[in-house]
Amino acid sequence: MKRLLTNIKKLVHVENQPVPYLKGKAMNDLTSIDDAFLEIEDGKIVRFGPMTDLHGSDISGTTEYLDCTGQWVMPGLVDSHTHLIFAEPRAREFEDRIHGLTYEEIAARGGGILNSAAKLAEMPEEQLYDDAMARLHEMIQTGTTAIEIKSGYGLSTEAELKMLRVAKRIKRRAPIPVKITFLGAHAIPPEYKENPDGYVDLVIDEMLPKVVEERLADYIDVFCEKGYFTVEQTDRILKAGMAAGLRPKVHVNQFNAIGGIQTCVENKAISVDHLEVMDEGDFKALANSDCMPVALPSCSFFLGIPYTPARKIIDSNLPLALATDYNPGSTPSGNLLFVWSLACIQMKLTPTEALAALTHNAAYALELNDELGSIAVGKTANLLVSEPMDSLGHIPYHFGRNSLSRVLINGNKYTH
Ligand code: NIG
Ligand code: FE
């Protein structure tokens, strides 16, 4: 099947020379084509250019047209950090926070991740799958065209494997690319409170071999944070993961800078995520590395914690990706369009920089950059068509509103 998008007002982020990711000033310097066409065949981009290059004779009778007069077309967004599979929302804790408790205080009382783990243990796989798929379909409508999904609400071998099997089923059946991250080390379960290293041993010696044997994950993650996992424990888990073929992708520097970023970089992490609190050593560690910093501004918005210093990251000539962190505790939202707005409003990124962070760089954070992240021949036609607009800023400016008129997945109009 062929599809032809015509009269596109602006075709954004045309990649002339493939680069794995964009950093510093290059993030604000995306190439675009005015008054463009784009042709799709068998779900892939096969040709694009100015309308003046399109000749009647090129077009066969079986081509389906999509007239995009006044509309912008851009690469689909990529969500490189989510906890999509969970049993229940945590609205009670939301109210506790309104009454003054902090996220960390709620966790210390047995709420938080432990609360979600208790609920998940009871929920059947089928229900977890159905709920997560419903969330995924909702996310596609706000532009998400590839996603990462973590485990981490299991905290026992059995429950972690259950979560990862659900994730694998989603990966097989979802209409968009899915990558899976093993996050056995998300919190210390109550039975290991006095023996946290014992839990680290369980993650390394019992969970990890099973995860690898059943090929349930692409990456390994740890919540490296005071009260969760130390830098030394993180280092052990990442080394074991790497040795087993899982590249690190790590929760770090959410509340405290404890030296975790350096460890992640040493262990060849593909990304370090959160980074709300960063010191100079962290910036140094990231310079001269290929590790992608990932900011999660919806988490800062929801918890009222500092925003990742994204402006400083880009101005330091580093790359940056943006993701949702969709989860029931710190970010009950999978809306990347809202992330785009927060990036501009709260982090002072330009709409163009934020788009680069949500597409090209986010695809790098999932090692999907051969397939997605820019407009290039041979890439998958997961594309966004805006409503008619005069500037890219129109989309993040209208915060909380969906300014897309269409999402194309493998070249097909997405409907659900
Ligand atoms: O990325 N920080 C650690 N993990 C999640 C929150 C998990 C939860 O509260 O359920 C996050 O914010
Ligand atoms: Fe997270």
Q: Identify the residues whose C-beta falls under 6 Å from ligand 1.
A: 112-113, 116, 223, 251, 254, 299, 325, 327-330
Counting atoms of ligand 1 from 1, which one is nearest the CA of 90? Answer: 10
Q: What is 2-75+374-413's CATH number?
A: 2.30.40.10
**Whose CA is closest to 48, among 31, 62, 23, 61?**
31
Residue to substitute in 109, 150, 186, 188 for testing ligand 1 pocket (most ligand atoms within 8 angstroms of CB): 186
Task: Give the tens place of pLDDT for each residue, 82-104.
Answer: 999 999 999 999 999 999 999 99
With bands split at pLDDT 50, 70 and 90, how would you rate the model's confidence at 81? very high
Q: Is 329 labelled as part of a ligand binding site?
A: yes
Location of structure tokens 């044997």: 213
> Which two tokens mark 94?
């939301």
Q: Where are the domains of the chain?
A: 2-75+374-413, 78-365
**318, 291 Cβ separation under 8 angstroms:** no
What pLDDT is stored for residue 297 in this prediction?
A: 99
Task: Give the tens place of pLDDT for each residue, 252-297.
Answer: 999 999 999 999 999 999 999 999 999 999 999 999 899 999 999 9
Residue of the CA atom closest to atom 3 of ligand 1: 223
Q: What is the mean pLDDT of residues 366-380?
A: 98
The ipTM assigned to this model is 0.97
CB-based burial of residue 415 (10 Å sphere; 0-12 exposed, 13-18 middle, 19+ buried)? exposed
Q: Which of helix, strand or coil describes residue 221? A: strand
Cα first-last separation, the chain: 21
Q: Is 153 labelled as part of a ligand binding site?
A: yes
Which superfamily, per CATH, for 78-365? Answer: Metal-dependent hydrolases (3.20.20.140)
Instruction: Print burial letters for 159-178: b (CB count within 10 Å at least 16), e (below 16).
Output: bbbbbbbbbbbbbeebebbb
Task: Say how many residues make up the chain.
Answer: 416
Q: Is 81 labelled as part of a ligand binding site?
A: yes
pTM for this predicted structure: 0.98
> Which two tokens mark 272?
């370090």
Residue of the CA atom closest to atom 8 of ligand 1: 329
Q: What is the mean pLDDT of residues 15-30?
A: 96
Range 309-312 contact pairs with CB under 8 angstroms and sequence separation of 24 or more: 309/275, 309/278, 310/343, 310/347, 310/348, 310/349, 310/357, 311/347, 311/348, 311/349, 312/283
- 238 Cα–ligand 1 center, Å: 19
Q: What is the mean pLDDT of residues 233-249?
A: 98
What pLDDT is stored for residue 55 in this prediction?
A: 85
